[in-house]
A and B are shown apart, each in its own frame.
Chain A
Amino acid sequence: MFAIYRKEMRSYFINPIGYVYLGVFLVFSALLCCYTTLIAATYDTSTYFTYLIFTFVILIPILTMRLFAEERKLRTEQLLLTAPVTITGMVLGKYFAALTMYVGGILISCINFIPLYIIGAAESMGEDTALTHIGPVTGEIVGSVLALILLGAALIAVGTLISALTENQLSAAVITIGVIAAMVLLNVFNLLTDSDGQPIIASYAVRFVLDWVSVISRFSAFSQGIFDFSALLYYVSLAFIFLFLTVRVYEKRRWG
């Protein structure tokens, strides 16, 4: 497993893909941070994180598309599957490599908050900070970053499964974008209202299900700085299910 993890990490940086991912993500997140906080003249980072989720709809497939699709195309999976490594070990090695890139990118992007803290510190100079807090709320930021990482862990597992099902990187990427976008956007329908202010989806049950399925609806508690254990469990189980399915795909192919 560690050999495969190291190989995947190396291949992110032998190929341009790792640099493209980090470069695009860091530039984009910096711009987003500028527009949603500095230019909007607010310390509230919730808009920033919401937009960030949407950028990951495009960026996560870049990380996951080649994981298995490329191996299948080049027939190198034969090497991995005949080596003394379990299929689970192989899948986890690849998954954690993608996750490392993802978490690494997010952690580096935390430098975006430095200007907020500097400005916050300058503004609160001479004010009585015991009464009013001026500047970004650290709890909210930490909570949102944590939630983002959990969300990504689930979405990367989805991308991993799709990569295992396809032989072509590009189709893996496109399908992953579609599936992730659906997962993220499902509960948008709940917010739509007609001219009388009534929700378009009248049935409460349907709205409840859409809300439950949507990966984004669990985000809110974290972004208020509250540790939501049920959301943690939700994201981790989602990741587990998709990774389990990936292992099954490979088991099944052996027996095919």
Chain B
Amino acid sequence: MIKIEHLVKNYGSNCAVDDISFEVGEGEIVGFLGPNGAGKSTTMNILTGYLSSTSGKVTIDGIDILTDPIGAKRLIGYLPEQPPLYLDMTVEEYLNFNYELKGCRLDRARHLGEICDTVKIRDVYRKVIRTLSKGYRQRVGIAQALIGNPKVIIFDEPTVGLDPKQIIEIRNLIRGLGKAHTVILSTHILQEVQAVCDRIVIINKGKIVANEKTENISSAVDRSRRFNAKICGPQKEVLAMLRGMPGISYAEALAERDGEAYTYMVESEYGVDIRKKLFFDLAARGWALIGLEALGMSLEDIFITVVDQSEERPSKAARPVRRSRGQEKNTLEREVGATLLEDAKKQRAEAALHQTEDDE
């Protein structure tokens, strides 16, 4: 349905998108994952014809966006990062304007009615958009993208700035859309793509790092390496023992105390499951392990594990140059690490948020 071949976009000497190629099949929901500034929005803006590429080819259902932009745009519904709303219009006026703008030929009243039911904005239909909350504005933006029943729907960070309940609702909505439409969704939140998408394309610094089915990425991600361990015992000695334990690459005492128990952050080496060993070793010393909580993975970890995994199964993943394994990991770590530190923190916050969602 969507075919991107060797897409390059330069802003002056700055290369935002560097030779990206991938395809999206009909009815597929693809997640476009990457840190801020990785080139997600640029790619989406090129897909929708808002920007032109420096080189490369984009076809939507066989129509080239450069040679027949109008024809290609007819097939696309787009929700940009900031929903393009006219704040002084009512929802009704806004949707009608979009209906006319897109030259839609469906039965107007029925089509708009259906869309309002899908995104649940009937109760604000006659309100001025300026007065709506962020969540409703986002939905009006989504409604706009659905007008004309486009074959392809593109969402750029659709859940940014929404509260957890709204996030879940929007995700469910997008999942529902995947039945009848081809959907591309960009985000920097892993859980989001895991929850919604069939396939995940990870992009960093303008290059595709991984292009995998969601199950593959999820299984990589399940092997979490970081734990918060709550251990009863003298802090210094426990920490010394943890640091000396084979399989543990890093340990740190956190400033958290629960009676006689202290909390430690423990990071295992790649591919080692330390949980059982940790339990028995501590028990042998008479220190009780009273809590063990796996921490969410940062995007940084995911990049590394995903690339690692695709090395074990050399298949689809795009890697620039083949190096020895250790080298590869190191350079990637360095490259990714700097840009991702911020995101890693956000990611953890997001993970915590998820915990609460799940509790609901």
Residues of chain A touching chain B, judged by Cβ–Cβ distance below 8 Å, are: 2-4, 6-7, 10-11, 14-15, 74-86, 254-256
- Min Cβ gap A117→B in Å is 41
User: A82 and B100 in contact (CB under 8 A), knowing A15-B88, A76-B85?
Assistant: no
Residue among A14, A78, A81, A254 making CB contact with B89, cutoff 8 Å: A14
A7 to B80, alpha carbons, bound, how many Å?
A: 21
User: A78 and B49 in contact (CB under 8 A), knowing A6-B100, A10-B93, A83-B101?
Assistant: no
Residue among A79, A81, A82 making CB contact with B76, cutoff 8 Å: A82
Residues of chain B touching chain A, judged by Cβ–Cβ distance below 8 Å, are: 11, 45, 48-52, 70-71, 73-74, 76, 78, 80, 82, 84-89, 93, 97-98, 100-103, 144
- Min Cβ gap B126→A in Å is 14
Residue numbers in A under 8 Å from B88 (CB-CB): 11, 14-15
Residue numbers in B under 8 Å from A256 (CB-CB): 11
> Quick check: B50 and A7 within 8 Å, CB to CB?
no
Interchain Cβ contacts within 8 Å, total number: 68
Residue numbers in A under 8 Å from B97 (CB-CB): 3, 6-7
A242 to B343, alpha carbons, bound, how many Å?
A: 46
> Quick check: A82 and B52 within 8 Å, CB to CB?
no
> Quick check: B87 and A78 within 8 Å, CB to CB?
no
> Quick check: B74 and A84 within 8 Å, CB to CB?
yes
> Quick check: B86 and A254 within 8 Å, CB to CB?
no
- Min Cβ gap A251→B in Å is 9
> Quick check: B11 and A75 within 8 Å, CB to CB?
no
Residue numbers in A under 8 Å from B82 (CB-CB): 75
Residue numbers in A under 8 Å from B93 (CB-CB): 10
- Min Cβ gap A93→B in Å is 10
A83 to B93, alpha carbons, bound, how many Å?
A: 17
> Quick check: A254 and B101 within 8 Å, CB to CB?
no
Residue numbers in B under 8 Å from A7 (CB-CB): 86, 97, 101
Residue among B52, B71, B84, B98 making CB contact with A254, cutoff 8 Å: B52
User: A84 and B52 in contact (CB under 8 A), knowing A76-B84, A76-B86?
Assistant: no
Residue among B87, B102, B144 making CB contact with A84, cutoff 8 Å: B102
Residue numbers in A under 8 Å from B87 (CB-CB): 74
Residue numbers in B under 8 Å from A79 (CB-CB): 80, 84, 98, 101, 144
> Quick check: B50 and A83 within 8 Å, CB to CB?
no
Residue numbers in A under 8 Å from B71 (CB-CB): 84
Residue numbers in A under 8 Å from B144 (CB-CB): 79
B71 to A, closest residue via Cβ: A84
- 15 further A-B pairs in the complex, CB-CB below 8 A; given A7-B97, A82-B73, A254-B50: A7-B86, A14-B88, A14-B89, A15-B88, A77-B84, A79-B101, A81-B50, A82-B78, A83-B98, A83-B101, A83-B102, A84-B70, A84-B103, A255-B52, A256-B11
Residue numbers in B under 8 Å from A84 (CB-CB): 70-71, 73-74, 102-103
Residue numbers in B under 8 Å from A80 (CB-CB): 101
User: A3 and B86 in contact (CB under 8 A), knowing A79-B144, A82-B50, A86-B70?
Assistant: no
Residue numbers in B under 8 Å from A10 (CB-CB): 89, 93
Residue numbers in A under 8 Å from B76 (CB-CB): 82
A256 to B, closest residue via Cβ: B11
A78 to B98, alpha carbons, bound, how many Å?
A: 13
User: A74 and B101 in contact (CB under 8 A), knowing A82-B48, A84-B70?
Assistant: no
A75 to B85, alpha carbons, bound, how many Å?
A: 8
